[in-house]
Amino acid sequence: MLDILLSLQRPENLIAILIGVAAFATVLSLTAPFAGDDVLKARMKLVEAETIKMRASQRSALSGKEGRLRDAAPKSLAGQLVKTFNLRRIFEADSSRDMLRQAGLRSERHLVSYLALRLASPILLALLAYVYSAVVVRDLSPQVRMVITILAAVAGYYLPVILLKNLVTRRQISIQRAWSNALDLLLICVESGMAVEPALQRVASEIGAASVPLAEELTLTVAELSYLQDRRKAFENLAKRTGMSTVKSVTMSLIQSERYGTPLGTALRVLAQENRDARMSEAERKAAALPPRLTVPMIMFFLPVIFIVVLGPAGIDVFQTFSR
């Protein structure tokens, strides 16, 4: 280990490492657009599967059979745990399903896995903390070990919820960044004479490079407009899947246009302008919050360097004078 550290301190080895890192970063930056296309294609394939399932459900409903948009519960260990302990009622499956849909996880197996994880994660983390405190840190008292185990169990209980909320937040941020451009594209399509379905499909195909989640949601909305009997339900599902007020306002305008025949272009133009104003105000708020946030880093990192540069030569002269 010492020989490795000494070899890393040599200039030629450091230069070689930096060159390797730079080459890897260059390759990664060049292949990033192709990876984005692969992600978009993969998500669109999932949307196509949802569309096929929706079509089959609609056909079964029209033929007099029971049609459901949900998958059957998988016959796995997670499914058995959910059924045995009645986790759907304990963990409020409806609210969990809504959050999973907002995170882009719509299948029933995702709900089953999430509910089973909420049951298993406190137990696993508590066992891991107890074993670690008992085997590795042996000088702890039983009371401290019990407190650590309880804290690990509490952290395990909230860990799946926190991870799911992070997924929802990341997805909403991606949609929010591309929503203004999507509204502008939708306004152009509507004012050019296109109907709502082809306009949404066109926007989804164009906005996929900026936001894969938004393209996925718009494509799924187009599929629901084609197969659901109540078109208003498709727009409400879009607002519910995203969980964003800006999307909900647009869907309300679409619903009113469908119901009362009001001009959609005027409403979309107003909403697009309001969305741009909201983004500008948010950017101004973040810019106004930068100076207080930069105060502490400047005091900790910039001022000591300035003092060293300004007072360093004088200090060296004083030290040399007194040392003679």
* C-alpha 133: how far from chain center: 34
Q: How big is the CA angle at 135 (ends 151 and 154), to the nearest 5 degrees?
A: 10
Long-range residue pairs from 171-176, CB within 8 A, at least 24 positions apart, any chain: 171/102, 171/103, 171/104, 171/213, 172/102, 172/242, 172/243, 172/244, 174/211, 174/212, 174/213, 174/214, 175/211, 175/213, 175/214, 175/217, 175/242, 175/244, 175/247, 176/244, 176/246
Amino acid type, 119: L
Please tell me the distance from the alpha carbon of residue 269 to that of residue 275, in angstroms, as a whole number.
10
Angle between helices 212-227 and 142-191 (to 10 degrees): 70
Per-residue pLDDT of the chain (324 residues; tens, 9 = 90+): 545 555 655 666 667 777 877 777 777 666 655 555 566 667 666 666 666 766 666 566 655 544 444 444 456 788 888 888 888 888 888 889 999 999 989 888 899 999 999 999 999 999 999 998 888 777 888 899 999 999 999 999 999 999 999 999 999 999 999 998 999 999 999 999 898 899 999 999 999 888 999 999 999 999 888 888 888 999 999 999 999 988 998 999 889 888 888 888 888 888 888 888 888 898 899 899 888 888 888 888 888 888 888 888 888 888 888 877
Q: Are 213 and 201 in contact (CB under 8 A)?
A: no
Please tell me the distance from the alpha carbon of residue 282 to that of residue 292, in angstroms, as a whole number.
17
Which residue from 153, 158, 94 is spatially nearest to 127, judged by alpha carbons? 153
Residues 6+ apart with CB under 8 A from 118: 87, 91, 157, 160, 161
Please tell me the distance from the alpha carbon of residue 48 to that of residue 203, in angstroms, as a whole number.
17
pTM of the model: 0.73
Q: Are 111 and 97 in contact (CB under 8 A)?
A: yes
Three-class HEC string of 237-266:
HHHHHHCCHHHHHHHHHHHHHHHHCCCHHH
pLDDT tens string 133-184: 888 777 888 899 999 999 999 999 999 999 999 999 999 999 999 998 999 9
* Helix or strand run (H / E) with residue 286: helix 264-288
